[in-house]
Structures are given as structure tokens and as C-alpha cells.
Amino acid sequence: MDINDLIRSNLRNYSPYETEEKPIDENWLKLNTTENAYPPIPEILDDIKNGIDNKVRLYPDPTAFELRKMILSVLLRDNDTLTNRNSIFIGNGSDEILDVIFKVFVEPGEQVIIFYPSYSLYKVLASLYNAKIIEIKLNDDFTIPKTAFSVKGKIMIINSPNDPNGKSYDNQTILELCKNFPGIVIVDESYADFSTYTCLSLLKKVNNLIVTRSFSKSFSLASLRIGYALADPNIIKEMNRVKLPYNTNHLGQIAALSCIKNRNKVYEQNKKILEERKRLTEELNKYSGISVLPSDSNFIFVRFEDESKTLKFIWDLKEMKILIRHFSKPGLYNYIRITIGTKEDNNKFLQAFEEIGNKYL
Amino acid sequence: MDINDLIRSNLRNYSPYETEEKPIDENWLKLNTTENAYPPIPEILDDIKNGIDNKVRLYPDPTAFELRKMILSVLLRDNDTLTNRNSIFIGNGSDEILDVIFKVFVEPGEQVIIFYPSYSLYKVLASLYNAKIIEIKLNDDFTIPKTAFSVKGKIMIINSPNDPNGKSYDNQTILELCKNFPGIVIVDESYADFSTYTCLSLLKKVNNLIVTRSFSKSFSLASLRIGYALADPNIIKEMNRVKLPYNTNHLGQIAALSCIKNRNKVYEQNKKILEERKRLTEELNKYSGISVLPSDSNFIFVRFEDESKTLKFIWDLKEMKILIRHFSKPGLYNYIRITIGTKEDNNKFLQAFEEIGNKYL
């Protein structure tokens, strides 16, 4: 039997998501993925350890009741946003949440609006679900162009702060998009804890908004796959109907609970990332020939005036066992994305950058 | 905006999977879900604990390289089955593996063949993917009827051992189905470690077979969501292309590795379940008016001659804080499914059953 004859026809032109390089050798400085520079604080690691008991044999709570309760009480107090624990969906990372949203809403051939550049998984998912992809190019300053305010479709996905440039969109912009768009607007706020912006308060004003959040970035739980979505209870109800029964793991639920409980200490730790973001931005902006875009996230996006120098830096950094991210895509050839490391990581990076800069800048 | 207008039309007639009752009060004896009666052995719990370190902040290995290597080397030695680590897919439990298979193969309207009775998620998934569901009723003795050997479709799903009756299908039957079916045959072997049957050796003979396996049951890792699929590398390649990049969590990968490393001790522990299965079967068969079906799994399926007595037992057991599983479905009204507990659990159950039996049998 020829297996290729059995595969869905739209997978023939489908390009999968490509994960970033992950060297096995631990001596590499990995500033190429957007993980938190710091591990979870000891209290959280202890809580996870204490969660490893005889209950490991049991299925996780399919409703993640305790975690939803905790998110609700915290969000209610901190953001005055939600009134109902049926406004919360818990997923196996933001990625799975997006997958579930597609399952609820997207029929083959329906329009899905994504922006360029942005997190590349959006396009991959839209393609997987056989949607008609409308890719709107962001303005040169990465703001949202006028066409987005009149486009039709079933789903629109905004990343705020946006990967790779790191800027957030303001609530006025997002509210306008929600009001004008005839479908669901997803705002992926995976990096919002590094920003002063969040559109959570808009959930009270429009019912076609889904805000997704992640414990992978600001809470350093990437390995445990846990994220959540906030939306109108009618949307959350449908998402719960189509999700796999046991989508999230028990230790991820426990870890996320502990993160919320210990959030003030975590935010304190994250302040170091914000300070380092400021320092890295200032240090790199001292070089002529490059400019650092203002960032609300845990990474910075650096522009080279001379495109030909971009790859020289990437290759030389790699020689020195430092990985950063380059996107070999139109309009992005002369940019690099650098994840903010610890102070020591960044010192090492800056020193390497200086050596290379002396050669090329 | 009316959210209901945006939801995919096939979700209007869709019935979601319903998870089983899970009382918060820990004094209940839960024999209603098919979890392992025993927790992971201490060596495995220790390995999971030791896996909680600073790497928690990093994304899990998207390829689960170490786990695939371990599965390969063990399976190669134990079953002489596979020759290639590209024959293995790692998923977030068997459920997600099935979801990924549907993503690869099933277009709306295509035929998916399931059997009745069997694990109810198969029908839910087929419905979610808008497949045309062909539900073939098993013979009264739960064997596969002749019609299954000539049916057409894209996917056929066999559960072996089958939930709820607990019997495995022999390789001759499965081989015939694979040869006759023009699509993919999935054999869900979630419970196969409690059986002497496995169809792994058939992977050498046909290329349209996918065998799925779980760490939730025999390895007591239900909370950590990890399972695997074995198939022709051409199938696995497509599954890897459509899966979410970080589908499985890091601690699940570590736990599964430890399970394979410690498998002989685990199998030793599982022998107690097989012994208890024998004892429970014999004890219950002593009653007139009920009969226990022979089981290859970690549960038994009990038939009441007088249908009206089934619910009486269920209700009285519940009064005594003992949960077992009843399927309110055609042909199954006079059956109950009892998961094999520890010796103490089963003693408690047998005593309760005797009390109730004295009233009704």
C-alpha cells in the first residue's frame, strides 16, 4: 500500500513548524529561543517535587479546577477582568490552545488572518486546518496596517508583544480590530508579563476576543507545557467540548498553581530580565550600523543597516558557541533576535559581540 | 456577536467525551477508571524528582530522542520488531496520538471504522473530524464480525485488549483486517502489557498498521501524559510533521525513560494485578446470576443475567463509597466494569459485593 495516497491532500503543500537548534553540549550559550533566563524559584521547584507522589498513577484533573480557581482569584484581584471560572481554559501550552480554537471554529477554506512577521506557528496551524491564509504584512515599524481593520475572516491572530520585534499593541488598536472583525480575534499574550500592556480588560467590552497566556515564558515552565486562555464563557465551553479529555499533565497543573502563589517573587526575578533588556539595548545601540528596536518582551530585535553583515555576526557568534535567532525570510534578512540572558550570559554575549564588531562595524 | 454562528457546523451535533466521576474525598474506592492499582515503583518516582532542576525552564525535546532510543533498543531486544528509530512517535498520551493520526489522514466525510462497544473516544474523535462514522457492532462474544473484513474506509480503530470487555484480538485476525482494509488500521494496545497478545510483530508484514501504546496503564503514569505509536517510517514522518512542536512534557519523557529502564520491576509489580484479576474472576464467578468475562486487561467485565439487578449493585456500591463503571448504552445495560485494585481494594470490594449479593442474588 502506498501510504502517500492516504495522506490528506493539503499536507502535500504543507510546511511544518521547525523547532530551533538545541545543542546537546551544555557549554553553548543559547539565546536563540525565548525561554526565561532564570529557572523557577526554589519554592516552585519544591512544590513540583512534593507533587510527585502516589497520585502519579492517576489521571490528571481534566478540568484543572484548582488552577482555574487560582487564576480567577488572582486575575480578578490583579486585573479586575473576569467574573467567572468558566471564562478560563487550561491547555497543554499556548500551542495546544490555538489548536483547540482552530478545532472549534475553522472549516476548510475559511479565512484566517495572520500578520507578517509574527510567530510562525500561526501560519502552520492555519495551513494544517486547510484554511485560506490571509497574511497581512505589518508596516515597516511593525504597526498594524489599515487593511487589517476591514478584512473578513473566521480567525485573526495577533501576537502582543509580537515575536520577533517585541512590541505590544495598545488596547485601542485591539479593540478596533475586535469591533471590525466578523470572527474571533486571538491575542497571544505569551510575553505580556514582560510588558506593561495587556488587553485583558477588553474581555469585558467584546465577546469575540480570546486572550492566550503561557506559563512557559515569564514563569519559566516551558518544559511542563501549561498555558491558559481567557474568553467569553460561550467560547470556553466549546473549547472544553473539543479538547482531549486529559490534555494537561498533573505536574504542570501543580507547577502553575505554585507559580501563581509565588508570583510576586517571580516578578521580582523577572525584573532582572527587564533591567538586562535595558542594558543590552543601550550597549548595542552604541554601535554604529545597528539599531535595537524598543522591546516589551524577553528578547530584543536588532537591525543591521548593512544586510551583508548580519550573517557574519551569526556565524562568528556560532564559532564562539553562542546561538541567536535569524529569520531567513523576506524583510528580516538584516535582523537578529537575541533572547535576554542572565547578567553573566549577557556579559559573555556583549564581549563576543564587541570582538566581532571590531572586525565588521 | 453571536458566538454560536461562528462555531463549526458539525459541532452542533457533536457529543464530547465524558470523563469519569472523580470524587475529591479520598476515602472513595475508585474502581471506575482503568488506572493502575499501584503507583510507579520508588526508583521511577525518584528519577522524576531528580529531573526537576533548572532545565524546567527550557522547552522539552520536541523529538523525545532519548525516549525513542530507549523504546527502540528495548523493543528490538524484547520483540524483534523494529529496526529504525523513525518508526516511533511520542505523544501526549494515546489520545493525542489518535488526534495526530486523524490530522494526517482524515478528510471531512471520509469513512472511519470503529467497533461497538469499544473505547468511546474513537467515536468522539471521528465526529470531531467530521468523518463518516461506520460503527460495526461486535458479535455477542465480542469477536469481530465478518463485515469488518470487507468494509472500506480511511481509518479503522481496534482496541486490543478491548475496553470494556478486556479481551485481546489474535494476530491472525488483525493481519487479515490490515490486508483487507484499504486505509490505516490502528491497534490501540494501551492495555497490552496485561495481556499475552501483542500485534507488534505484524509491523514487519504490513505497512498500514499503527500500534499505539501508553505509559498510563501498565507503567502507572496516567498523570504525566505519555504514550507512543509504532508504524512504518512513512507514517511516523507525517505524524511528526503535523504534531504540535512541543507536544510532550519533559518530566513525562524522563518518567517514561525510567519506566523502561526499570521495566522488569514494574512487570513484577503488575503480576499482582494479574493474580488479583484471577482471584476476582473466580470469586465473582461463584455467584449465580452473574458471569465474569475472561480478561486480558487490568479490569474485568461482569455480566448480570437479570438486567434490573445491575443498577441496584451500582447504587448500593456507591452508597458504600465504591465506584465502578456502568455504560448506559445499548447491549451494555447488564454489565459492569471493575478495575482491578490492590489486594486490599479488592477485599473491600468483594466484601461489599457479598453484602449486596446477599440481598439481590
d(C-alpha B335, C-alpha B204), whole Å: 38
The distance of B170 to chain A (nearest Cα, Å) reads 22
Of B16, B57, B121, Cβ closest to residue A39? B57
d(C-alpha A326, C-alpha B189), whole Å: 43
CB contact under 8 A, A62 and B107: no
Among B162, B122, B154, CA closest to B138: B162
CB contact under 8 A, A246 and B95: yes
Of A11, A36, A207, Cβ closest to residue B57? A36
Q: What is the pLDDT of residue A22?
A: 76
pLDDT for residue B246 is more than 60? yes
Q: What is the pLDDT of residue A189?
A: 98
Contact B82, B72 (CB under 8 A): yes
d(C-alpha B314, C-alpha B325), whole Å: 8
CB contact under 8 A, A11 and B96: no
d(C-alpha A143, C-alpha B204), whole Å: 55
CB contact under 8 A, B11 and A238: yes
d(C-alpha B202, C-alpha B175), whole Å: 7
Of A38, A223, A246, Cβ closest to residue B93? A246
Length of chain B, please?
Answer: 361
CB contact under 8 A, B224 and A3: no
Nearest CA in chain B to A31: B58
Of A104, A224, A246, Cβ closest to residue B249? A224
Of B3, B59, B106, Cβ closest to residue A232? B3
Nearest CA in chain A to B120: A245
The distance of A47 to chain B (nearest Cα, Å) reads 10
CB contact under 8 A, A40 and B56: yes
Dump pLDDT digits (tens) for B262-298: 999 999 999 999 999 999 999 999 999 999 999 999 9
CA B293 to chain centre: 18
The distance of A307 to chain B (nearest Cα, Å) reads 30
pLDDT for residue B13 is more than 90? no
Nearest CA in chain A to B35: A58
- H helix or E strand, kind and range, residue A300: strand A299-304
Strands (E), B166-286: 184-188, 209-214, 227-231
The single-letter code of the amino acid at A264 is: N
CB contact under 8 A, A95 and B246: yes
Residues of chain B in contact with residue A232, where contact means CB-CB under 8 angstroms, are 3
CA A131 to chain centre: 22
Residues of chain A in contact with residue B214, where contact means CB-CB under 8 angstroms, are none
d(C-alpha A241, C-alpha A198), whole Å: 27
Residues of chain A in contact with residue B184, where contact means CB-CB under 8 angstroms, are 6
CB contact under 8 A, A17 and B220: no
Question: Which residues does chain A have with pLDDT short of 70?
Answer: 76-83
pLDDT for residue B81 is more than 70? no
The distance of B19 to chain A (nearest Cα, Å) reads 7
φ, ψ (nearest 5 deg) of residue B77: -75, -45
Q: Mean pLDDT of all residues in chain B?
A: 95
Nearest CA in chain B to A95: B244
CB contact under 8 A, B207 and A3: yes
CB contact under 8 A, A232 and B4: no
Residues of chain A in contact with residue B55, where contact means CB-CB under 8 angstroms, are 39, 223
The single-letter code of the amino acid at B16 is: P
* Better pLDDT: B188 or B80: B188
Q: Identify any residues that bridge with A186 across adjacent strands, giving them in sequence order.
A: A157, A210
Residues of chain B in contact with residue A33, where contact means CB-CB under 8 angstroms, are 58-59
CA B137 to chain centre: 19
- Which of A35, A58, A234 to probe by mutation at the B interface, max B CB count within 10 Å? A58
HSE-up of B71 (CA within 13 Å, CB side)? 27
Residues of chain B in contact with residue A225, where contact means CB-CB under 8 angstroms, are 60, 92, 246-249
Q: What is the pTM of this model?
A: 0.96
CB contact under 8 A, B95 and A19: no
Dump pLDDT digits (tens) for B86-141: 899 999 999 999 999 999 999 999 999 999 999 999 999 999 999 999 999 999 99
The distance of B73 to chain A (nearest Cα, Å) reads 21
CB contact under 8 A, A208 and B1: yes
d(C-alpha B139, C-alpha B194), whole Å: 23
Nearest CA in chain A to B232: A3
CB contact under 8 A, B57 and A48: no
CB contact under 8 A, A247 and B92: yes
Contact A100, A256 (CB under 8 A): no
| Dihedral-angle region of residue B46 (phi above 0 means left; psi in -120 to 50 means alpha; beta otherwise) | alpha
Over pLDDT 90: what percentage of chain B? 91
CB contact under 8 A, A45 and B60: no
Contact B105, A8 (CB under 8 A): yes
Among B153, B254, B158, CA closest to B198: B158
Q: What is the pLDDT of residue B74?
A: 82
Contact B73, B260 (CB under 8 A): no
Of A48, A225, A238, Cβ closest to residue B246? A225
- Which of B33, B56, B86, B262 to probe by mutation at the A interface, max A CB count within 10 Å? B56
Q: What is the pLDDT of residue B79?
A: 59
Cell 516511533 belongs to residue: B88
In this structure, the dihedral spanned by the alpha carbons of residues A288, A290, A295 and A297, taken in order and rounded to 10 degrees, is -120
- Which residues have a Cβ under 8 Å from the Cβ of B60 and sit 6 or more positions away? A222, A223, A225, B246, B248, B249, B250, B253
Label residue B316 by pLDDT band (50, 70, 90).
very high
Of B95, B221, B242, Cβ closest to residue A128? B242
Residues of chain A in contact with residue B245, where contact means CB-CB under 8 angstroms, are 17, 19, 95, 121
CB contact under 8 A, B247 and A92: yes
pLDDT for residue B80 is more than 60? no
Q: Identify any residues that bridge with B229 across adjacent strands, giving them in sequence order.
A: B89, B212
- Which residues have a Cβ under 8 Å from the Cβ of A332 and sit 6 or more positions away? A117, A164
Q: How many contacts (CB atoms, under 8 Å) link A and B?
A: 224
Of B17, B103, B207, Cβ closest to residue A245? B17
pLDDT for residue B42 is more than 70? yes
Residues of chain A in contact with residue B16, where contact means CB-CB under 8 angstroms, are 240-242
CB contact under 8 A, B55 and A223: yes
